[in-house]
Amino acid sequence: MATIVGIGMTDLMRASGRTELDLALEAVRAALADAGLEPAAVDGLLSYHLNDSAQVQFVAEGLGLTRLAWHNEIYGGGSQSASILGDAAHIVDDGLAETVVVYRALNGRSGHRLGQTSLRVGENAEAQFTLPYGMRGPVHLFALVAQRYLHETGATAEDLAGVVIQSRANAARNPRASMGKPMTLDDYLASPMVATPLRRADCCQENDGAAAVVVTTDARAERLGAAPVRIRAAVRAGGPGSSNLARAEDGTRMFSHYVAPDIYRRAGIGPSDVDVALLYDAYSFLVLSQLEDFGLCERGTAGALVRAGGTAPAGDVPVNPHGGLLSEGSLHGFNNVLEAVRQLRGDAGVNQVPNAEVALCAGFGGSYGGAAVLTRG
């Protein structure tokens, strides 16, 4: 079974002043150092991007690699953040490469920002028809989904606030976090509305930075003496509609509705086996919907679970102990994968989930997305 033996991440910044290649190389070198490997040990490279990252061949060149057995670049954002681990595992398990580095690098704040929309032809040409109606980016699209979710489940603004408040509380103990100040309900309600029902506090951070993981064989991991974190299963799937609500059967059915049955079946576990959940929290309501879709609580009860402290690091269903995309920062979800590894290795610091052995990671992209199950030992 493919094993993660190293992780590395740059600082999360608002204005890095650096190229994506420079950021990628820093994260990859940090991950290799964490694994106790030299760059020459790498024979596979993977990344995902939205035309906003460092290309694999330039990262290989920057590492001084003269030959790769396998490499690939996958087009996509958060929907790839967990499932790309499955690609790495297949490559290692099938013997196509022995040691694969997966990285995500972007200047997500100082470079191209996802909320920026322009009229164009070709890719995203449909924006010219939705832009006049105020659909200026993902937040406006998913605000419609959030509004419908609240309507159908009876969730309230206080439930959304509970997600953000818990996220900030976790981040307050995380030195890497972009938003390390605790938040009260009054603070949340004072946050400016962006698109009803989503306030600014309900939206994830936009950061410059990079993160990387090293995936290798059990045999090499044993030689390294690494604390093994194994990729038990990964799924990339979805239903009709993608991120286009006009084509969806049900606008409230996010990727987790389609992915959950497959990831549990492939991993051979159930919701009760999950010790820590790294959920893609691009918007606060997604935490509530994923908790329910992944069977971590009953439909319509996620808000109460969060407000009661059930998703805190010491709660019944710990979620994003590092603060997640809402508060630690956003590297298109890949920083959540690194937190899963820390939790399973037992070196997550003050927000360590006790006896964490199974981690569920999820990646969002409308009704398309992915998930991975990582296990300790």
Over the stretch 352-361, which tens digit does the pLDDT of each residue have?
999 999 999 9
Q: Can you give the pLDDT at residue 252?
A: 83
pLDDT band of 131, cuts 50, 70, 90: low
First to last CA, the chain: 11
Q: Report residue 199: phi and psi, to 5°.
A: -90, 170
Q: What is the pLDDT of residues 236-289, one digit of tens each?
A: 999 887 667 767 788 788 999 999 999 999 999 999 999 999 999 999 999 999
Residue 70's Cβ-count burial label (10 Å; 0-12, 13-18, 19+) is middle
**pLDDT tens across 159-190, in order?**
999 999 999 999 999 999 999 999 999 999 99
Amino acid at 117: T
Cα–chain center distance at 54? 19
Residue 363 tokens read as 């990646």
- Identify the pLDDT of residue 119: 46
Using a pLDDT cut of 70, give the percent of the chain over it. 92
- What would the pLDDT profile of 309-346 be if each residue is shown by its tens digit? 999 999 999 999 999 999 999 999 999 999 999 999 99
